Amino acid sequence: MDTALQTLELLRDASHVRNYRASEWRAMFEAANLSRPALDCWKLELEFQSWIARIATPPAGVDALKVVFGALPAEVREYFAVASDHSFTLDSG
């Protein structure tokens, strides 16, 4: 799931660095000797057209995103609830 998400994010925005998992955030807090933060989690719905428009993804990136969305394994498509218009949900916290 992580690899799929990072691939999509990088195709959308070449300046993208990384989306950290909740477990990674917790580990960073603990490594810095900070108290473990309380974390609320939810699914964030991302509408494809507005998602790419916000960052002005170039046409070649949009085409690549559509190819990658179409090639995602079924379990990844299901996890991210990928719709026919390439909209999807993202774990958020």
The tally of domains found in the chain comes to 1
How much is the average pLDDT of 33-60?
A: 94
- Whether 31 has a pLDDT exceeding 90, the answer reads yes
Closest C-alpha among 83, 60, 88 to residue 4: 88
CATH number for 36:
3.40.50.150
Q: How distant is the alpha carbon of residue 88 from its chain centre? A: 9
Position 23 confidence tier, pLDDT thresholds 50, 70, 90: confident
Chain-centroid distance of CA 19 in Å reads 7
Please say whether the beta carbons of 4 and 76 come within 8 A: yes
| pTM reported for the whole predicted model | 0.85
pLDDT in tens, 51-62: 999 999 999 999
Average confidence score pLDDT of the chain: 94
Range of the domain at 18: 2-92
Neighbours of 77 (CB within 10 A): 16
pLDDT in tens, 71-81: 999 999 999 99
